[in-house]
Amino acid sequence: MDKKLTLSKPEHVASNGLLDRRYFLKSSAAYLTAGSSMLMGSISHAQRSYPDYMTLPGAPLSGYGHRSVNEDHVQRYISLTRGTTGAGNSRTPLEKLHGIITPNGLHFERHHSGIPDINPDNHQLLIHGLVERPLVFSMENLMKYPMVSRFQYIECSGNSRPNLASEASDLTCGEIHGMISCCEWTGIPLSTLLAETGINPNAKWVLAEGADAAEMGRSIPIEKALDDTLIAIFQNGEAIRPENGYPLRILLPGYEGNISVKWLQRIKLSDVPLMTRDETSKYTDLQKNGTSEMFTLEMGVKSVIVSPSGKQQLGPHGIYEIRGLAWSGAGTITRVEVSADGGASWTDTLLTEPVMRKSLTQFRIPWEWNGQPAILMSRSYDDQGNRQPTRSEFIQNSGLQVNYHNNMIQSWQVNSEGQVQNVYV
Ligand code: CO
């Protein structure tokens, strides 16, 4: 390998190869071992042969663009519920993406009875119950209201469930943690529509119901409904994809994904929660004493290293960039630390702007790998004073039977051959 670039001597800030998080920024130029470039200069420009795409006209224009066929391997991980055709989930391949925005075609899915085929011309949203004026909105009506745009993540409360098993499975980052995605969502604040219907002072809960074959329904506290809840119609600038709720969904930033009901058709204000199937038989958290907690809605503070991560293979020894994603349902990420020695020593990473509330935040730090075995971990903090728990802290508080809200620290083991594997620490 040809190391042409002269970098300042890397300053080690924690054990096992972690470098100053600003190392790349301080160097006038930098390249990573993982991305070392080929030697140039042996072929002169005049002698080069031209590929067909430089000698013949290229493809025509198109009304709707598609990614390169060479990128077709970047796919969601699909897991179908046995015996069904449309129930199950597909997970975002986090380790194959860069940045904080999930492309619409790779946003995770969780369906309870498949994706309904809805014609927006026939779709209506009913708001009734403890309101002063029950109203029905057509999509055409809704499009006349002022809209807002926000960058928010959605995380399924069952995300990271594979790590609640007693033995660590050899899986990729996306297979374990890919039930989180982040988009720019555009729509109407629910408070705007509730100002139209008026609110009976006895209203304490809001039912949101979908138009799918499972008629997914969840109860929302009225305070959240009037806070940052959105009736979302657009996802990353275009109409929401069918698998994400076309033509509209409710969106509750920072709350467990299941409550952001897709294909929204009905909102009912009530004095009590509606105790729907989807918040009683599922989405309750079984405790160690055998009772279940209900309405555990806010998602915890969490982070995960996406590279290097499970089932990846490092190349030659040298400098790599550790990068990952952090988020919190309570607010804004303030700090992410990483460890390369299984949690014995930690150091701060660099957070990449923009750092936004209830959105994904990127973190990164250079790491010098000289073939020594390592265990890479990240832990995040938010502006509400929360810190991501270790595996043992999580088990102590919630147990492994809990099934939901797993935000424990992820550990990736790198062996001397450079193979990366999910492990428990
Ligand atoms: Co919950």
3-state helix vs strand vs coil in the chain, percent to 5: 15, 35, 50
28 C-alpha to center of ligand 1: Å? 47
Which value, to the nearest 10 degrees, does the dihedral of the CA atoms of residues 279, 285, 286, 291 take? -70
Q: In this predicted structure, what is the pLDDT of residue 25?
A: 78
Bond preceding residue 354 cis, omega within 30 of 0 = yes
**Whole-angstrom Cα distance, residue 350 to residue 336?**
8
386 C-alpha to center of ligand 1: Å? 17
**Secondary structure letter of residue 353 according to DSSP:** S
Q: Which residue's entry shows tokens 């809990």?
A: 402
133 C-alpha to center of ligand 1: Å? 32
Report, in angstroms and rounded to the nearest whole number, the Rg of the chain calculated over CA atoms. Answer: 24
Question: Which pair of tokens denotes residue 423?
Answer: 């492990």
234 C-alpha to center of ligand 1: Å? 26
Closest to 390 (Cα-Cα) out of 308, 300, 295: 300
413 C-alpha to center of ligand 1: Å? 30
258 C-alpha to center of ligand 1: Å? 9
**Whole-angstrom Cα distance, residue 89 to residue 103?**
17
Phi-psi region of 276 (alpha: psi -120 to 50; beta: other; left: phi over 0): beta
**Whole-angstrom Cα distance, residue 278 to residue 295?**
11
Phi, then psi, of 173 in degrees rounded to 5: -60, -45
285 C-alpha to center of ligand 1: Å? 6
CA 314 to chain centre: 24
Contact by Cβ (8 Å): 307, 322 = yes
60 C-alpha to center of ligand 1: Å? 49
229 C-alpha to center of ligand 1: Å? 17
**Whole-angstrom Cα distance, residue 177 to residue 38?**
34
- The domain ranges of the chain are 120-284, 302-423
**Whole-angstrom Cα distance, residue 141 to residue 359?**
29
Phi-psi region of 407 (alpha: psi -120 to 50; beta: other; left: phi over 0): alpha
Predicted TM-score (pTM) of the model is: 0.94
218 C-alpha to center of ligand 1: Å? 11
219 C-alpha to center of ligand 1: Å? 12
**The 347-348 sheet, strands edge to edge:** 347-348, 333-339, 374-382, 411-414, 420-423
405 C-alpha to center of ligand 1: Å? 6
157 C-alpha to center of ligand 1: Å? 6
Q: Would you say domain 302-423 falls under CATH 2.60.40.650? A: yes
Q: In this predicted structure, what is the pLDDT of residue 43?
A: 55
230 C-alpha to center of ligand 1: Å? 20
293 C-alpha to center of ligand 1: Å? 8
243 C-alpha to center of ligand 1: Å? 22
State which amino acid sits at residue 22.
R
Helix (H) or strand (E) holding 324: strand 318-327
**Secondary structure letter of residue 265 according to DSSP:** E
184 C-alpha to center of ligand 1: Å? 24
**Whole-angstrom Cα distance, residue 352 to residue 99?**
9
Q: In this predicted structure, what is the pLDDT of residue 365?
A: 97
46 C-alpha to center of ligand 1: Å? 64
90 C-alpha to center of ligand 1: Å? 20
404 C-alpha to center of ligand 1: Å? 6
400 C-alpha to center of ligand 1: Å? 15
203 C-alpha to center of ligand 1: Å? 22
Q: How many residues does the chain have?
A: 425
190 C-alpha to center of ligand 1: Å? 22
6 C-alpha to center of ligand 1: Å? 51
Q: In this predicted structure, what is the pLDDT of residue 242?
A: 98
Closest to 111 (Cα-Cα) out of 74, 75, 163, 76: 76
136 C-alpha to center of ligand 1: Å? 30
Instruction: Give pLDDT < 70 ranges for the chain.
Output: 1-8, 27-46
Same CATH topology for 120-284 and 302-423?
no
Q: Would you say domain 120-284 falls under CATH 2.40.50.140? A: no
Question: Which pair of tokens denotes residue 275?
Answer: 């105790």
Q: In this predicted structure, what is the pLDDT of residue 4?
A: 41
Closest to 28 (Cα-Cα) out of 1, 6, 12: 6
